[in-house]
Amino acid sequence: MTLDSGLVRRIILTVCMAIYSAGFAEKIALFDIGTGKVKMQIVEEEEGSITSLACLRESTNIDVSYFLEHKKIGASGDKLLQTLAELKEMALSYGCTRYEAVATELFRQAEDGEEFARKITKTLQIQTRVITSKEEAVLAFWTVVREKGLDPQKVVVLDMGSGSFQFA
């Protein structure tokens, strides 16, 4: 099984490890909200194995020119909310009971990024957290190390997105 190469894959491993250690299985929709794309990975953990059920990518529909001029997500955030709502509806059809999201560079740079993350959580019940560039790098690093079975002392990971990139 090949998982999506984006940040969602890193979040999957982190969340699924927590679920596994808690001793129960659950279907989870994980969202990576980037500058240009929203990625959703649906996973199920059962008896210690992680199964990817679906991976979807959609445009964030963010007005990048407005963002660059004003440093705000602004009204184009309504389109992002609609995209997330549609993805969540798809996740419901898989029986997901938990929804987690990380928001990256767009939210870090936008003056209203934290506020908009709270709006996603409140409006759609998708727990959304703006992560730092360092957290993004750490998630990328450990996902690659775990997924590929690499020695963490002998690997460098580059994570490239639409709005940022990290080395770890």
What per-residue confidence (pLDDT) applies to 31?
93
Rg (CA), the chain: 16
Beta-strand relationship, 49-59 and 165-167? unpaired
- In the 3-class helix/strand/coil scheme, how is 37-48 assigned residue by residue? EEEEEEEEEECC
**pTM across the whole model:** 0.76
- pLDDT digit string (tens) for 116-145? 999 999 999 999 999 988 887 787 777 677
- pLDDT digit string (tens) for 21-39? 455 678 999 998 988 889 8
- pLDDT digit string (tens) for 92-122? 999 999 999 999 888 998 999 999 999 999 9
What per-residue confidence (pLDDT) applies to 1?
41
- pLDDT digit string (tens) for 56-83? 889 888 877 777 788 888 888 999 999 9
What per-residue confidence (pLDDT) applies to 155?
82
Residue positions counted in the chain: 168
